[in-house]
Structure 1
Amino acid sequence: MSARMRLTSVETVHEDGSWLFTGRDGHGELEEVLLVPCEDGAEAWVNRCTHEAQRLDMGRGAAIRDGQVICPRHGSMFDSCSGYCDNGDAADTTLPSVDVATEDGTVYLTDDDLSYLHDGGIEESDRDDNNGPSSTSHISF
C-alpha cells in the first residue's frame, strides 16, 4: 500500500524528543504514529498506550525520560527502542510497531500496511464521515 515515504530527519526526532504523523491503515482506519529517538535513529509506534488506548502524544510531544515513553494517564513506561513495558497497568505489553527506515539522517515510512497522510495528529478533516451535514434531521420545533 505504501511506498517509501520521507517523514522527517533523525535530527528533528532527537532534538524535539518525538515526532507525530497521521496515516491510514489497510482497513481504511486513521492511525497516529509516534516517532521517538532510538540510539542513532528512530523507532515508530502507534500513538496509543496498550492499557486503555490513551494517546501517548496528545499533540504537544510525548513525555520521554531515560529512553522511555511515559503514558500520561497511568504512568506506564515503554522502552523507546523496543516498545516493551515492564511496569504499571500496561506491564508485559509492547506498543504496536510501524515499519520505518533511516538512511543518511532521514526517516522513511516503509510499512506496507500504512499510507502517510500528514504531519501531526488526526484532524477532523481526515475523517470520511465529515463530508455531509452534521445532522440528518432538519426538523425544528
Structure 2
Amino acid sequence: METDDAPCLTTVENLPENDSFLFTVRERDGSEEEVVLVHGDDCITAWKNFCQHETDQRLDRGFGAAMRDGDIICPKHGSMFDGCSGHCDNGKAAGSTLVSVDVTVDDGAVYLTDRTCEFAHEGGIEEDDEDDMPSSSSHLSF
C-alpha cells in the first residue's frame, strides 16, 4: 500500500522488539478508538486497544502494553495474544483474535494505512473522569 499520504506513526528504531506505542484514531462515524502498535517477534502490527474477553479492558493502560516473547498480555486476566496474528490460545480469551488496524513499514518508518480510520493523535483517548477507566483485578507486571 502507498505510504505517500499515510501519517507516519513512529520509526522501527523507536519501537524496540516487545515494546508498544499507543495512539488514537477517529473512526468513520466520528468516534475515537485507541490503538496499540506493537513490535512482536519479526513483525510490527497494530490492534484496537481492548481485550477480546472484556472489551472495556485496555491492553495498554497508558504506560505500554505488557509483552513477553512477542505476545501481548491482558493485564486483567493474563490471556496472551500473539503479537503478529492477534490470536489468543489460552486463558479466558482463548479462541479469540484482536481487531487489527492496518499499518505499513517502509524504509524504517511505520505508517497508518488503514482506510477505515484516520490518525487523531499520539497517546490514548483523553478521559474526563479517571473513574471511567476500566479497572484491573490483577497486579501483573513484566
TM-score, length of structure 1 as denominator length: 0.82
Match of 2:117? 114
Is 1:100 aligned with 2:103? Answer: yes
Mapping 1:126-137, distance limit 5 Å: none
Which letter maps to 1:37?
H
* Bigger Rg, which one: 1
Match of 1:57? 60
TM-score, length of structure 2 as denominator length: 0.82
What percentage of residue pairs aligned between the two structures are identical? 58
Match of 2:15? 13
TM-fit CA distance, 1:38: 3.1
Of 52, 64, 69, the residue aligned with 1:66 is: 69
SS of match in other structure, 1:61: coil
SS of match in other structure, 2:14: helix
> Would you say how many aligned residue pairs link Structure 1 and Structure 2?
123
Match of 2:50? 48
Which letter maps to 1:121?
G
Which letter maps to 2:49?
N
Work out whether residues 22 and 121 of structure 1, in 8 Å CA contact, stay in contact via their aligned partners in 2: yes
Of 38, 41, 49, the residue aligned with 2:40 is: 38
TM-fit CA distance, 1:124: 4.0
Work out whether residues 41 and 102 of structure 1, in 8 Å CA contact, stay in contact via their aligned partners in 2: no
Q: Which structure is higher in helix share?
A: 1
Residue segments in structure 2 that go unaligned for 5+ positions in a row: 129-142
Which letter maps to 2:46?
A
Match of 1:135? none
Residue segments in structure 1 that go unaligned for 5+ positions in a row: 126-141
Match of 1:24? 26
Give CA-to-partner distance per residue, 1:53-107, whole Å, 9 cap, x none.
1100000000000110000010000000000000011000000000000001100
Match of 1:81? 84
